[in-house]
Every structure is written in C-alpha cells, then in structure tokens.
Amino acid sequence: MLATGFWLLAIQPMSDHLVVEIMPLKNALGLPVPHYQTEHSAGVDLYAAVEADFVIEPGRWKLVPTGIAVAIPEGYEGQVRPRSGLALKHGIGMLNGPGTIDADYRGEIGIILFNFSEQPFPVNRGDRIAQMVFAKLTKASFRTVDGLNETKRGAGGFGHTGVK
C-alpha cells in the first residue's frame, strides 16, 4: 500500500499497460490486493469483505461487499464475472453477471451472489467470490434508418437454429 492510502493495481495486457487506482475501504483490512493468480489469467480475483460470515440459502441472493473502490481510466470498463469453480462445485453465480464497473463509478464494488443449488452456501471473509476483467470500450453513435440490410439469419431469435 502506498503512503497515500491507495493501492495501485497494474494491469499489463499483452500490448498495453493499464494502471487502475484502487482504494481499500475499512472493511478490506487484512484482505489481499486483487491480483492475477497465474501469468496468463484474464481477471483478478475479488474477495468477500464481510464483517461476519453468513450463509446464502438455496434460491436466495446476497450483496457481498469487496472492500474496494477503483478509478478505471476513461475508455475502459471493469467487467465483474462469476468464478467458474463456484458455479461448478457449488452452484453459485451472479444475478447480474457479467456486471459492468463504469470508469466514472467511485463506490464500493459489490457482488450479487445467487445460490442456484439446493444446499446452503457459506460466505466467509476473504473468500474469492468473483473476478474482474478490464476491457477497452468503443462508443457507438446511432443513425435512424427506415430498414436494415438483409442477412441469412434475418429476425430469427432465441433458439431458431435448433439444438443440433
């Protein structure tokens, strides 16, 4: 931690270097700084910054604090995603996954965990509960038209191509 009270989380994609300022909140005391678990990890783990352990009952959800606030540079977003191991082993996911952390948001990052399983799921302080990936954004402008160009798919929607 720097003397200013900020952690600096250096993000080093293959062709760019992105620095994201990260501020630990009081409930982050003693928790690890988000970091990549392996050299080629796409996301950093986010930790449960809960004051007391609790249980998410089957079919229920809870907002879990991470104890951090970030300043993502303009032109980027933080994408908060569920952890695959929690999904496979425990049936735990996110209600709004992936979630977006906008460049101008300065509040605490919270994760809405959902228990899709039939078993209660304990959440303990320091558990890795989600991951965050940083992505460059492209802004769109819109032009109103009377019709769209034709494609093979056309207006075919959900499941229109079948299962096989």
Alpha carbons 34 and 66: distance in angstroms, whole number: 10
**Can you give the pLDDT at residue 162?**
75
The β-bridge partners of 71 are 21
Boundaries of every domain in the chain: 7-136
Question: Which tens digits make up the pLDDT trace of 98-109?
Answer: 999 999 999 999
In the CATH scheme, what is the code of domain 7-136?
2.70.40.10
Candidates 24, 25, 20; CA nearest to 9 is 20
Question: Which tens digits make up the pLDDT trace of 3-60?
Answer: 455 555 555 445 568 999 999 999 999 999 999 999 999 999 999 999 999 999 999 9
Where are any strands of DSSP class E within 86-127?
92-94, 99-101, 110-115, 121-123
Q: Tell me the two tokens of residue 124.
A: 């303990």
Reduce the secondary structure of 77-146 to three states and give it as a string: EEEEECCHHHHHHHCEEECCCCEEECCCCCCCCEEEEEECCCCCEEECCCCEEEEEEEEECCCCCCCCCC
The β-bridge partners of 55 are 122
